[in-house]
């Protein structure tokens, strides 16, 4: 185990908006997981004391809330752009799910299911 990149939250302290907390939490978790993985893969685990921060910026507009997550993970390859909003598409390699996935000692992978970005696109906070 090693330290992950720091996450900086930039958000007004008094911001309140109606939304289902479980849904928002799940979506933010998936997107942060993508950023964390990208930064660690780009810089390598031996650079754990020098990872650039991941920034989560929350801004209130007149009619909506915008949540932006930015990192220095290197981005998505241009050839993958048409696929990133497709369910089950992943950039994670070697994530074959074990046939014994129903066993009590099954350990699910942390990435590679391909639903984080498509799920985030379903959200409109008004």
Note every long-range contact of 84-90, with CB atoms under 8 Å and residues 24 or more positions apart, other chains counting: 84/117, 85/117, 85/118, 85/121, 86/114, 86/118, 87/114, 87/115, 87/118, 88/113, 88/114, 88/115, 89/114, 90/114
Looking at the predicted structure, is the pLDDT value of residue 92 above 80? no
CB 90 within 8 Å of CB 115:
no
Q: What pLDDT is attached to residue 122?
A: 67
Please, which pLDDT band fits residue 24 given cuts at 50, 70 and 90? Answer: confident
CB 65 within 8 Å of CB 58:
yes
Q: Is 30 a catalytic residue?
A: yes
Catalytic residue among 23, 33, 41, 68: 33
Catalytic residue among 30, 48, 60, 72: 30
Q: Which domains does the chain have, with CATH numbers?
A: 7-121 (3.30.565.10)
Q: Is 34 a catalytic residue?
A: yes
- CA-wise closest residue to 44 among 74, 79, 77, 89: 74
Q: What is the mean pLDDT of residues 15-36?
A: 85
Q: What is the mean pLDDT of residues 45-74?
A: 93
Please, which pLDDT band fits residue 57 given cuts at 50, 70 and 90? Answer: very high
Rounded CA separation 50/105 (Å): 35
Rounded CA separation 98/107 (Å): 9
Q: What is the mean pLDDT of residues 69-84?
A: 89
**Mean pLDDT over each residue of the chain, to the nearest integer:** 80
Catalytic residue among 3, 16, 23, 34: 34
CB 32 within 8 Å of CB 110:
no
Q: Is 33 a catalytic residue?
A: yes
Report pLDDT digits (tens) over 4-14: 999 999 999 99
Rounded CA separation 45/5 (Å): 10
């Amino acid at each position: 185990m090693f330290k992950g990149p720091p996450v900086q939250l930039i958000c007004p302290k008094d911001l309140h908006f109606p939304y289902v907390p479980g849904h928002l939490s799940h979506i933010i978790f998936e997107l942060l997981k993508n950023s964390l993985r990208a930064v660690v893969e780009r810089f390598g685990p031996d650079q754990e004391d020098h990872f650039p921060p991941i920034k989560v910026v929350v801004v209130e507009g007149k009619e909506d809330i915008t949540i932006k997550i930015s990192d220095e993970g290197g981005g998505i390859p241009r050839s993958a752009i048409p696929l990133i909003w497709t369910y089950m598409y992943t950039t994670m390699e070697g994530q074959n799910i074990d046939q014994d996935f129903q066993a009590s000692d099954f350990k699910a992978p942390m990435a590679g299911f391909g639903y984080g970005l498509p799920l985030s696109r379903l959200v409109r906070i008004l």
